Structure 1
Amino acid sequence: MPSSDLERIAAIADPYQLIRAATERLSAAQQEVTELARLRRRIIQELHAQGISYAQIAEQAGLSRGRIHQIKHTGPAPEGAFLGTGTLTLATPLKREAGNARPVVAMEDVTAAKRLEDLARGFDLAVSLEHVPLGGDIDLNRPNLIVICGPKLSPVMAELYESDPVFEWIKDGAWTLKDRRTGQSYRSGEDSDPPRPVDYAYLGRLARPDGDGSVLVFTGIHPQGTLGVVDLLTSEIATLWGQVGDHRFSTVVAVEYDPATGEPVKAELASPLYRHEDT
């Protein structure tokens, strides 16, 4: 840690405050080390992908070739940054069910959040869980925020989705997603006649309202789609990271699911993966 931080903490007279401050600074330092290691591994991979040999990278970086190989294959994987860096905040919505005075969280949202948390921790990312409150008023102007919530439960999220330059949510009897560029509409199989065990979900990284960063958001038209997005992220996050990195984007995910359990059987992109700077 910087000497100024060390000196500041060492000068704290109250021993309990000193322990607390030292613990907080150690936690922050460990996160910084993790993200620096992730960044270093990512740059080595990118340079090698450009055709630069490990020997050349080692020479220019002042490291041995063996050390470069070691860095490339150890430490936190770069694609974890698709979710964010440091400590992620993962928000799921509270709902008011008929006949239930207490707000609840849909079981599918709980499951999706737990699986995404497990995925993030596998990339050495810390996760803090919270809820989008009843009424949907959530502060989106925070770093490393992931929100699992659609436009129905939150006017704040509805306004965020409206900022997407490609997709729009349409309520016409049932919710659908529409691609403004192609005119393609995505309607859940549950709302079709006859019903089919297929759902569609939105996945995107959108600009925060204050313009100072982005928010990763996703939700299915129905809960099965939400679970499908997590299934896709678990299996394809490296590919997604390679295509969009930390840029803003949006896409639609098609999810086939077991009608008996609601569990995803197959999840894949149903639309192009639009990078917003290209639209």
Structure 2
Amino acid sequence: MEVNFKFISPDGRIDFTDPGIVAICGPKSSKIVASALARDTALSFENDGMIYGIRDYVDSRVWKSRRDVENENSDIGYLARNETGPGSGNRFLSIAGIHAEGSAIIVEHLCNYKRIREIHKKTKGSLFSSVIGGTYQRNPLSIEFSQLLTLHIREESCDVTNEVAFVEEDNKS
């Protein structure tokens, strides 16, 4: 496996021409990622006015970071295989923590080859949405534990444009 790092440009654009793209950023950092996440029919980011969470439309619940709710060294994040555009067939892996530690938890989770195989076996190349959670230590950051909290397989992404509302809400703060 070869890893090449590219950074998201200040305007939030991502070059999806390379195969095997893994975008580690949330909807606040990139309109393209926000648009892809907005088409996710299973999970979405939401802000209740105070803290961010991940709404689970399949299980009718909202996942929140224990860092925000109970002031613990624990966070969650979103891991999904998304399309770059509706019906495009161009796919990428999306990682977005509620906080930076949530993204680190997901990356650590994926460093275990058994976990990657397990997710691949369950999803069989389909679009999917999941929430991964875990615990960490600070200074220096180290991940203690990670686990898959929920996994939803999606047939296809829908063509919605609610990313504009999310971006506008973010710009108000």
| TM-score category, normalised to shorter length | 0.7 to 0.9
Question: TM-score by structure 1 length?
Answer: 0.51
Q: How does 1:141-160 map to 2 (within 5 A)?
A: 142-160=18-36
1:200 to 65, 72, 76: 76
2:39 to 163, 170, 184: 163
Point out the structure with max Rg over C-alpha: 1
How many residues are matched? 153
- Distance change in 2, residues 1:141/1:206 (3 Å): farther
Question: TM-score by structure 2 length?
Answer: 0.80
Contact residue 168 and residue 178 of structure 1 kept, 8 A: yes
Shift of residue 217 of structure 1? 0.8
The answer for unaligned runs of 5 or more in structure 2 is 158-173
2:130 to 223, 232, 251: 251
Contact residue 253 and residue 269 of structure 1 kept, 8 A: yes
CA distance in structure 1 between the aligned counterparts of 2:148 and 2:47, rounded to whole angstroms: 22
The answer for unaligned runs of 5 or more in structure 1 is 1-124
Equivalent residue, structure 1, for 2:93: 216
Contact residue 248 and residue 277 of structure 1 kept, 8 A: yes
- Distance change in 2, residues 1:141/1:184 (3 Å): farther
Equivalent residue, structure 1, for 2:162: none
Equivalent residue, structure 2, for 1:139: 15
Equivalent residue, structure 1, for 2:64: 187
Contact residue 160 and residue 209 of structure 1 kept, 8 A: yes
Question: Any idea what SS the aligned residue of 2:71 has?
Answer: coil
Aligned Cα RMSD in Å?
Answer: 2.0
Question: Any idea what SS the aligned residue of 1:176 has?
Answer: strand
Equivalent residue, structure 2, for 1:228: 105
Equivalent residue, structure 1, for 2:5: 129
Q: How does 1:1-279 map to 2 (within 5 A)?
A: 125-140=1-16, 142-172=18-48, 173-192=50-69, 194-209=70-85, 211-235=88-112, 236-271=115-150, 273-277=151-155
CA distance in structure 1 between the aligned counterparts of 2:16 and 2:62, rounded to whole angstroms: 28
Q: Percent of aligned pairs with the same residue? A: 24
CA distance in structure 2 between the aligned counterparts of 1:180 and 1:141, rounded to whole angstroms: 31
Question: Any idea what SS the aligned residue of 1:159 has?
Answer: helix
